[in-house]
Amino acid sequence: MPDKSVSYWTNTGQGLRAVELRAAGFKPSEAAAINAVVTVAAAHTNAHRCNNRVRRIADFLVDALALKGGQGLLVGAPAVSDALTQGTENAGYSLVSRDLMADCMETGHYAHHGNAMIVISGCDKTGAAALMPLARTNAFGLVVYPRTSAPGRVDFEPWASKGNNLTLMDYMEGSAAREAGRISDDQLTRLQRCVMPGSGTCGAMFTANTMSTVAEAIGMMLPRGASHPADYDAGSDIHDDVKKQAYASVEALYRLMEIGLRPRDIMVRKAFENAVTTAYAMGGSTNLYLHVLAIAREAGVMMTIEDLHCIGERVPLIANLQPHGPYAMVSLHKVGGVPVVMKALLNAGLLHGDVMTVTGKTLAENLAEVALPEELPEQDVIFQVTQPLAAPGNHISVLSGSLAPESCVLKLSGKTLEDGEFHGKAKVFNSEKAAMTAIREGGVVAGDVVVVRNVGPVGAPGMPEMVHLTIQLQGRGLGKEVALITDGRFSGVSHGILVGHICPEGAKGGPISIVQDGDTIVIDPKKRRLDIDITPKEMAGRMARLDPPELLDVPEGSVLSKYRRLVSSAHYGCVL
């Protein structure tokens, strides 16, 4: 059991710390009995449903720690919801918040002399931020997920056949379908009322649940922690399963301290490979690339974007979850959650079973009694590895080429391109807003490649998600006939023929800056290429004539200004 920080916090005597403790409502005379000072890092806000239950969970954790003789000290951090920022001028703050949250948690932990840490995650950047300070400080600790939203249902198509599995994606695509005249006002209103009955993160395999899956699969969250529903409805208390997980997490933390097992003992290279493998098998978000690279750096594990591709390219898609399938995350939970997916992968030799986890046991030991998909009662949520939804190579791939000399990521979400590649005519836009206007006014048609540039980590700044563009394409029935390429990124909700994270970005003089309307763009997943079909001479000439980019003006000294100055490219995970 660690004692350095406890000794500091309890060594109050007649000194200043006794004054501080008493003024804050603690009793210095009781401090000597404390056996652990635990940072409860909680990105709480009442501004959105993703993290509005986090403070309640934090209070449970503090109470549970007290029952074990520990003292929980709350540390806050900003929690940004992409659902509130996407498509607005403030969208750049989303990715920026990842590193800001990690810094807040690290600062609070050391400033309050904690010797262990429980981090409550939530909306997608919070999921990455939760693992970063644990890896960075190597304090005894683990992650608790405030859980995913319960799904809804309606009685009209194309959504009725999904049953009780509707998520925010269905409403967003329904909204675009209404704009295109494909559904009625009444149907859109019914979707809005039914799609999300309570709190929680976006309800399927979008970025929040991708990162909760990563936390569980890497061994830093208790089994089945990634898929619980957050509550019963908007007026209820948090779900009983969430309470149980909070108390169980405190018990697990004390076991970790007793046996001396720290995050960097768990977050080893093999564990990262397990996390990426599991996320691929479940159809995870492209944001996985940015976040896993950032977390690995904090853990001192050398990983490159090519490493992630090589891990993922051998993994079939076996979880039938949105956005590529019909089911919500809660449906996965009902059939056993992430452990069932991992058991199938382990049984197929795709996971490392000898890595340690926060249970104090190996992954193989955790999965010993878990059923394989074929051993479950009849279901079509999790498929067998030998009979997958999609063969390996049909989810996320890393490409390069004349338009992406460093790298970019292609998301197919289980879909294959009929001819093995996509050729289309470029429609070029220097902002998301301009592209949105063109799509809504019918300026984008089948066979086009929408090119959105100057929205990278430096250009935006903050690399916003182009999700509303992908939603418009899907809602208008163009998702399989129009490609979208960008130096920005995508939401986990996004699906179609999508290429993001193009590096170098436009703001850094990348070749995406020289694309012109009408140029032929070639996306070739088999050759892993993204190219512009012009001669090398024309390419060189355009690059030579390229003017320095005009960057969006942001206030000097602002968070966005600092981020622009410090951030690396998406090729390295947008780390600072």
Tens of pLDDT, residue by residue over 170-217, are 888 888 888 888 889 999 999 888 887 888 888 888 899 999 999 999
Q: Is residue 62 part of a domain?
A: yes
Q: Is residue 356 part of a domain?
A: yes
Q: What is the pTM of this model?
A: 0.94
Task: Using pLDDT thresholds of 50, 70 and 90, give the confidence band for residue 575.
Answer: very high
Q: Which residues contact 306 (CB under 8 A, 6 or more apart)?
A: 398, 407
pLDDT at 32 over 80: no
Nearest partner of 214 among 327, 338, 111, judged by Cα: 338
Q: Is residue 13 part of a domain?
A: no
Task: Round the average pLDDT of the chain to a whole number and report it.
Answer: 91
443 & 295 share domain: no
Positive/negative CA dihedral, 564, 569, 570, 575: negative
Lowest mean pLDDT among 58-62, 156-160, 407-411, 439-443: 156-160
C-alpha span between 175 and 191 (Å, rounded): 9
Nearest partner of 528 among 413, 372, 393, 352, judged by Cα: 393
401 & 348 share domain: no
47 & 96 share domain: yes
Side by side, which strands form the sheet with 36-42? 70-76, 36-42, 116-120, 140-144
| Identity at 464, one-letter amino acid code | P
Q: Is residue 16 part of a domain?
A: no
| Identity at 390, one-letter amino acid code | A
C-alpha span between 408 and 530 (Å, rounded): 8
For residue range 131-166, what is the model confidence (pLDDT) as tens digits?
999 999 999 999 999 888 888 899 988 889 988 888
C-alpha span between 341 and 525 (Å, rounded): 26
- Specify the pairing of strand 520-524 against strand 529-532: antiparallel
275 & 330 share domain: yes
pLDDT for 1 equals 45
pLDDT for 239 equals 87
pLDDT at 8 over 70: no
| Rounded average pLDDT over 485-499 | 91
Which two tokens mark 1? 């059991």
Chain position carrying tokens 């891990």: 311
pLDDT for 572 equals 97
pLDDT for 496 equals 87
pLDDT for 492 equals 83
Q: Is residue 21 part of a domain?
A: no
For residue range 234-256, what is the model confidence (pLDDT) as tens digits?
888 888 888 899 999 999 999 99
Q: Is residue 333 part of a domain?
A: yes
175 & 260 share domain: no
Nearest partner of 326 among 467, 472, 490, 170, judged by Cα: 170
Nearest partner of 105 among 90, 93, 85, 121, judged by Cα: 121
Residues in the chain: 576
Catalytic residue positions, numbered: 491
pLDDT for 491 equals 86
Q: Is residue 273 part of a domain?
A: yes
Q: Which domain holds residue 245?
A: 35-150+200-375
For residue range 310-362, what is the model confidence (pLDDT) as tens digits?
999 999 999 999 988 999 999 999 999 999 999 999 999 999 999 999 999 99
| Rounded average pLDDT over 526-541 | 96
What residues are paired with 448 via a beta bridge?
425
For the chain, how many structural domains are there in total?
3
Domain harbouring 486, CATH code: 3.50.30.80
Q: Is residue 8 part of a domain?
A: no
Chain position carrying tokens 């000097």: 556
pLDDT at 3 over 60: no
295 & 429 share domain: no
pLDDT at 26 over 80: no
